Amino acid sequence: MFQAMPVENMGLVDVPPPTIVRALLLDDSNFDRARIRRLSQQTGLCIELDEVGSIVEMEQAVQQERYDLIMIDYRLPVGDGMQALDHVLQNPLNKDAGKIMITGDNAQETVIKAMRGGCHDFLTKETIDAEVLTQSMVNAMTLARQRQYASAQAAHQREIIKQGLVAALTDSEVQGNVVSMIAKQLQSTMPDRPRIFNVIDQGEMDALLQGLDEDDEFIFH
């Protein structure tokens, strides 16, 4: 009989930041990069910060290194922060990193766009200090890890359901009930037509089971 594998603590977990935070900063301004670098050293977190000045440089960085945290300046000479964010989300190595959008103002439209687009937090350059930066970094990394954990839970639960259905359909009594239900449904929806079938042969049932046992994102997504 099918038995689900246990999962420890199915709720969201309160994940502490990593001991050493690998961080990436995208900002075309040398002055702003130096300021955030200086503030990051005052956060109390052990941060190893890489800096890039363009989306092209950022693409190269995320392909070579896995980051815990990625900070993106919204205004760039070529492209913008949303385009940069999209590149991060498409990168298998860093799509689950904590992501912070940095804006030059507190424009609500930009903030909403960034948060809906996949960022975990945002900062305005005028209000950044060591305390604000620390809070934003911790928030972003915590949310990122919680969402990653929740996604893994959902995938595990889908697999449990899939395996349970496959196991149930191998039972002859369940197979008979399924066939009977399908026959009644067809009879009720097409009463004037001849009965299409009396039974589903074993080959058709085996094909159904094989289809369920394979990865079926359409059904189990």
pLDDT at 8 over 50: no
> Domain tally for the chain?
2
- Cβ-proximal residues to 20 (8 Å cutoff; 6+ apart), any chain: 46, 47, 48
Is 105 in the same domain as 201?
no
144 in a structural domain: yes
7 in a structural domain: no
- 20-29, 132-141, 146-155, 185-194 — which is least confidently predicted? 185-194
Neighbours of 35 (CB within 10 A): 14
Is 205 in the same domain as 125?
no
Span 9-59, pLDDT tens digits: 444 456 666 789 999 999 999 999 999 999 999 999 999 999 999 999 999
* Residues spanned by the domain of 182: 170-220
Is 27 in the same domain as 131?
yes
pLDDT at 205 over 70: no
Q: Note the pTM of the prediction, 2 decimals.
A: 0.66
Q: Which residues of 124-161 are buried (b: 16+ CB within 10 A; e: fewer)?
A: bbeebeeeebbebbbebbbbbbbeebeeeeeeeeeeee
Span 93-110, pLDDT tens digits: 999 999 999 988 777 888
pLDDT at 156: 62
**Rounded distance between C-alpha atoms, residue 92 and residue 101, angstroms:** 20
Is 183 in the same domain as 113?
no
pLDDT at 5 over 60: no
Could you tell me the CATH number of the domain that includes residue 119?
3.40.50.2300
